Amino acid sequence: MKKLFWIFVTIAAVMLIAGCGGSTAKGEKLKAGFVYVGPVEDAGWTKSHDDGRLAMEELDFVGESVFVESVPEGADAVRVITELAESGCNMIFTTSFGYMDPTLEVAAKYPDVTFLHATGYKTDVNYTNYMGKMYQSKYLAGIVAGNMSESGKLGYVAPFPIPEVVRLINAYTLGAQSVNPDATVQVLWTNSWFDPVHEKEAANTMIADGCDVITQGTDSAGPQEAAEAAGVYSIGYDSDMSMFAPTAHLTAPVWYWGVYYKDVATKVHNGTWTNEPIWWDMGTGITGLSPYSDAVPQEVKDQVAEVKVSILDDDQIFTGPLYDNMGKERVKDGVALTDGEKLSIQWFVKGVKGKIPEAK
Amino acid sequence: MYKIKLEQKERVSKREELIITLSAIGIALVLSGIFIALNGVNPFVALWKVLTSALGSSYGISETLVKTIPLIFTGLAVGIALNSKLWNIGAEGQLFFGATFATAFIIYGPVLPKPLMLTVLVILGAVGGALWAAIPALLKIKFKMNEVISTLLLNYVAINIADYFLFGHWKGKDNFPYTPIFPEEARFDRIGFGRVHIGLFLALVLVVLLYIMLYHTKIGYKLRMTGSSLKAAKYAGININKTMFMVFLMSGALAGLAGVSQICGIEYKLHQHISTDYGYTGIIVAWLARSNPFIIVIFAIFLSILLKGAESLQIAMRLPAAVGIVMQALILFAILGSELFKNYNVKLIRGK
């Protein structure tokens, strides 16, 4: 028993010496706090925000930032956001839809702090929302998929039937159909943003069903690994996922949040920040395609480059005639969906094999 | 060569049991400390941070209590079943089913005066949880199905039922998966201390009632008897099946109350994240507390401090979220490991 005691004492002593409490940087630099829905190493959505956070830290008036990962999207988030505000953050970024109301609640109590919420739609004097037009990059990815697929059957592992996800699936489908009018997109829901096992299973199910290009709206690299193992092509999402599927991964529509985060930090620093919500175009660089793999032929790359220019010039992705997947005409010839209609879209375009649960 | 020899113990005193449990927690904390040190943070500073963030301010204490409330309910739910040596791994599902049950009334039913409304909701939540627990109970009694597996798997079913409504009939006007905010009549009052709500009183009243029931009534005696020896219980003329069924219903009802307490006490709506694994953490709480209702309160607070502390460690020490999960796992691991020392004398003997 005595021996045991001394072992503990030694361990305790080692621990005391091992780490020295972290001290924070001094000075009047801006401090940013981030609330993440998944782990930083999710290789997808959260990773893309963390890359943006690090890019923002490069600005000389921005100090060391702090993040909290895997925060539940409910009452727990209120506490985390409050603690970030209490710890002296000047800007707090909350990066998942479920943080919309919790952030709004905390923002009212800390008027000197700027709160920014990704993917939502609410605002307050010191609170706004931000997003990028990812559907444009998804459309380009669809062109790649439509070209590379032999069966014309594409698989899409999707998280939730919410407007943002529906919009991206539609854009991807329209992109694929622009080069192969018969292309179809099979959708399987996982009902979770981050669930590597479930996502992988969903991908495998679609591969077994004949889908030969797999992509995803979820955050883990599970679908990529499934495609790599099965020897079919894949298109990543959020971040470059090629390291998980070196041969399968063709490209990925990705987020470059650093572009926006640097902009916000600069404006907050200069005192020119406003609470106007933003939904940035691909042209700002907030979204784009990650580097292609060698499997993508030059003519496909050229085609994508050409379409990209035309989208930047005049975005006609959601311009009629558009039919939903039940055959009903949704957008008349020559009519374009407004931004508001795009943001609330709740129907699939023709060629999407999947169902959106009906509200009452 | 050394050999490890195990000798079954005759009987363990309460004192010995307590010492073993506390040393298991101690060992888990030391191991967590090593893990934290490996991340380049002084574990004593980290421990201090965990304690001060949870108990160092009135805000911290109030938030710790907010997280403690559901853990008392689920701890009691798992604990009451454990008293009869029944494993209810399904508190998470019962929590969701109870919450869904109560939400259905809020959505389809009339808005009643507040005291009546809350009474109805609390009863419905308990009934919902009990109904969900009745399934594994019947499976066990009729078909001898192991309740560990059936309760665990039914969790996923219950969560999917909630999802079915959240993504379908009950989804928000903005097409996102949550119900409308509940009317004022359907919300628990706050007690004037941060976000702490009257669910805390409900939980504490139940702690006392369950203690009295377990140790001072005939039903409690039957219950504990079923747990200590089936043969003896049968010999004493106790209807085992009936007792087990009743235990399951009570267990489910308590977990269902955790659900109501979450949606009416703090979230004010049903959505996918009303529980951060409270049903599963309740298992650790009940096990650590040896199913004693009063001690369950203590360990519910303990785990709440730990869960909350993991967030503060990320903010103050930049430690990854995984640290909190690892700490919880180490504690459970150490406690389960300590069972060996509780039931056996472990001797190191010199062999040939």
Chain A touched by B347 (CB under 8 Å): no
Strands A352-353, A184-189: pairing kind: parallel
DSSP state of B264: I
pLDDT digits (tens, 9 = 90+) for B293-338: 999 999 999 999 988 888 888 888 888 888 888 888 888 888 888 8
pLDDT digits (tens, 9 = 90+) for B60-109: 999 999 999 999 999 999 999 999 999 999 999 999 999 999 999 999 99
The reported pTM is 0.88
Question: Looking at residue A269, what is its pLDDT?
Answer: 94
Question: Looking at residue A11, what is its pLDDT?
Answer: 57
Cross-chain Cβ contact A162/B177 below 8 Å: yes
Residue with tokens 């940013």: A32
Report A:138-197 residues touching B (Cβ under 8 A): 160-163, 191
Is residue A259 within 8 Å of residue A285, measured between CB atoms? yes
A-chain residue closest to B262, CA distance: A75
Report the residue from B44, B59, B168 with minimal CB separation from A357.
Answer: B168
Residue B321 with chain A: CB contacts under 8 Å: 39, 68-70
Q: In whole angstroms, give the CA distance from residue A80 to residue B311.
A: 7
Is residue A188 within 8 Å of residue A155, measured between CB atoms? yes
Residue A355 with chain B: CB contacts under 8 Å: none
Greater model confidence, B249 or B1:
B249
B-chain residue closest to A121, CA distance: B174
Report the residue from A22, A80, A82 with minimal CB separation from B318.
Answer: A22
B-chain residue closest to A35, CA distance: B315
Is residue B91 within 8 Å of residue B78, measured between CB atoms? yes
Q: Do domains A32-132+256-284 and A134-252+290-353 have the same CATH topology?
A: yes
Question: Looking at residue A10, what is its pLDDT?
Answer: 59
Chain A touched by B321 (CB under 8 Å): yes
Sequential DSSP letters for A199-245: HHHHHHHHHHTT--EEEESSSSSHHHHHHHHHT-EE---BS--GGG-
Chain B touched by A357 (CB under 8 Å): yes
Superfamily of domain A134-252+290-353: Response regulator (3.40.50.2300)
Rounded to a whole number of angstroms, the distance from the CA of B44 to the nearest CA of chain A is: 7
Q: In whole angstroms, give the CA distance from residue A96 to residue B275.
A: 18
Residue B53 with chain A: CB contacts under 8 Å: 83
Q: What is the dihedral of CA B222, B225, B227, B231, to 10 degrees?
A: -120
Q: For chain B, give the mean pLDDT.
A: 91
Cross-chain Cβ contact A15/B33 below 8 Å: yes
Domain boundaries in chain B? 67-300
Report the residue from B45, B274, B315 with minimal CB separation from A21.
Answer: B45
Domain boundaries in chain A? 32-132+256-284, 134-252+290-353
With H, G, I as helix, E, B as strand and everything else as coil, classify residue A345: coil
Class of domain A32-132+256-284: alpha beta
Chain A touched by B271 (CB under 8 Å): yes
Cross-chain Cβ contact B195/A75 below 8 Å: yes
Tell me: pLDDT of B284 over 80: yes
Q: In whole angstroms, give the CA distance from residue A141 to residue B242.
A: 61
Q: How many A×B Cβ pairs under 8 Å? A: 121
User: pLDDT tens, position by position, for chain A (360 residues)?
Assistant: 455 555 555 555 554 444 433 333 445 799 999 999 988 887 889 999 999 999 999 999 999 999 999 999 989 999 999 999 999 999 999 999 999 999 999 999 999 999 999 998 999 999 999 999 999 999 999 999 999 999 999 999 999 888 899 999 999 999 999 999 999 999 999 988 889 999 999 999 999 999 999 999 999 999 999 999 999 999 999 999 999 999 999 999 999 999 999 999 999 999 999 999 999 999 999 999 999 999 999 999 999 999 999 999 999 999 989 999 999 999 999 999 998 899 889 899 999 999 887 755
Q: In whole angstroms, give the CA distance from residue B46 to residue B327.
A: 12
User: Within 10 A of A181 (CB to CB), how many other CB atoms are there?
Assistant: 11
Is residue B271 within 8 Å of residue B179, measured between CB atoms? yes
State in Å, rounded, how far the first CA of chain B is from the last one.
6
The sign of the dihedral angle between the CA atoms of A77, A78, A81, A82 is: negative
Q: In whole angstroms, give the CA distance from residue B62 to residue B301.
A: 11
Cross-chain Cβ contact B321/A70 below 8 Å: yes
Highest mean pLDDT, choosing among B161-165, B237-241, B348-352:
B161-165
